[in-house]
Amino acid sequence: MSQEECCPKFDPAPWDKHVFEWDNKRFIKDKVMSVFNIPLNFGGVMKRLDQKLKEAGAATPEYMCLSDHTSTWNMNVYLAVNKEVPDAENVSMSGKFLSKVYEGDFKDTGKWMQDFNKYAQEKGMKIKKTFMWYTVCPKCAKKYGKNYVVAIGQVA
């Protein structure tokens, strides 16, 4: 990718209103400090994870990075990887997941979460854990004219 394309253009179709299964999908995990859910060191954390990827010769499938807002002060990030990465917290996820795509300003995340929970209930599913996939950075969202965010919930 060129400098002008720091984030690839996202295709929402494969992720909107889908149920899928992961069997030990690989991620590396890190923490981002937040103040009232506003990330403070997200860029630095992503640079650190990117450096670990490069050193390991690993790649990140679909450029997927899931966010788990654990409190107003912390967010865990899970960067998808194609192999184990040394000197990183390697984790895997398995199970059945539901996804739905949203588009708009990050301030609407609360509304999206309410809608996502309602959508899951309508499908007869109970969400055990929810992740947000912010598919592009703010600069690329402006460039592409779309800010897609995917809610991904592990369902029971």
Is 36 inside a domain boundary?
Answer: yes
For 24-53, write each residue's pLDDT tens digit: 999 999 999 988 777 888 889 999 999 999
CB 35 within 8 A of CB 72: yes
* pLDDT at residue number 5: 60
- pTM greater than the 0.95 cutoff: no
CB 31 within 8 A of CB 70: no
What is the residue-wise DSSP string for 65-109?
A: EEEEE-SSSEEEEEEE-SS--TTSEEEEEEEEEEEEEEES-GGGH
Is 29 inside a domain boundary?
Answer: yes
Is 19 inside a domain boundary?
Answer: yes
Is 21 inside a domain boundary?
Answer: yes
Is 4 inside a domain boundary?
Answer: no
Is 66 inside a domain boundary?
Answer: yes
* pLDDT at residue number 40: 83
The CATH number of whichever domain residue 103 belongs to comes to 3.20.80.10
- What average pLDDT values come out for the chain (156 residues) when binned by 10 residues? 70 96 97 85 90 95 91 93 96 97 89 96 96 91 94 95
Is 9 inside a domain boundary?
Answer: no
Number of domains the chain is built from: 1
Is 6 inside a domain boundary?
Answer: no
* pLDDT at residue number 151: 97
The parent domain of residue 39 ranges over: 15-155
**Alpha-helical regions (H) of the chain:** 42-56, 109-122, 138-144
* pLDDT at residue number 2: 47
* pLDDT at residue number 18: 96
